[in-house]
Structure 1
Amino acid sequence: MASEEQITVTELRLSYRYIKEHPWVVTAVNGFLSAYFMEQPSFRVQRHFDELESGMHVWICEVPGTMKMTTLLRRLQADIPPCQYSHVTTEPTIPPHYVIDSRESS
């Protein structure tokens, strides 16, 4: 039955600004996602790369239909410096993506 599970390809992105403020956070996210895979084997990181045009780090993940990406993001927020995340809605042909960025100064 596990083979029938719906998988969604989703992008997790760190903004250039957030990385500049906290350079070690890329390593922290790599470690967090590796540990998350050990806990939830149906979650998988397909690829990680540095997007040169935007300066963002991007993780392309396979997210099982039974898992909420917002749950993963809330848990990740406990391990990294204060941040905000946004869900960027895209065209149906483009994978959904979440961007982690610095909190706006008020």
Structure 2
Amino acid sequence: MSDVVKLYDEADKLKSAGNLDEAVAKLEQATALDDNYALAHSALAVVLQRLGRHEEAIKHAVRVTEIEPTDPFSYTALSVTYQRAYAGTNEIGYIRLAEEAMERSRMMSQHRH
């Protein structure tokens, strides 16, 4: 098992146990070792969001779309991240960004069929 996968698995256990700050630290180690490890960026987006660190969460969700630009789910997850940022901050601009990401996901899904 590679180091990044091991770090991800450790972070997942920490997240499940409610140790979110420790999970973030492990996931940040994983992305430092391999910045193209989409799963770790995706998990960081989720955990950071739970901690109310919306801007950081968005950066990681955007990074997933850069790593996997042809995966519609990357954009769906980004849309959800923006929606949660809106829910946590009431900043209306996040709604437009969420809608744009979801539209991109829909367009990609249609092109795959």
- If the length of structure 2 is used for normalisation, what is the TM-score? 0.25
Higher RCO, Cα 8 Å, sep 6+: 1
Task: Flag the structure with higher strand content.
Answer: 1
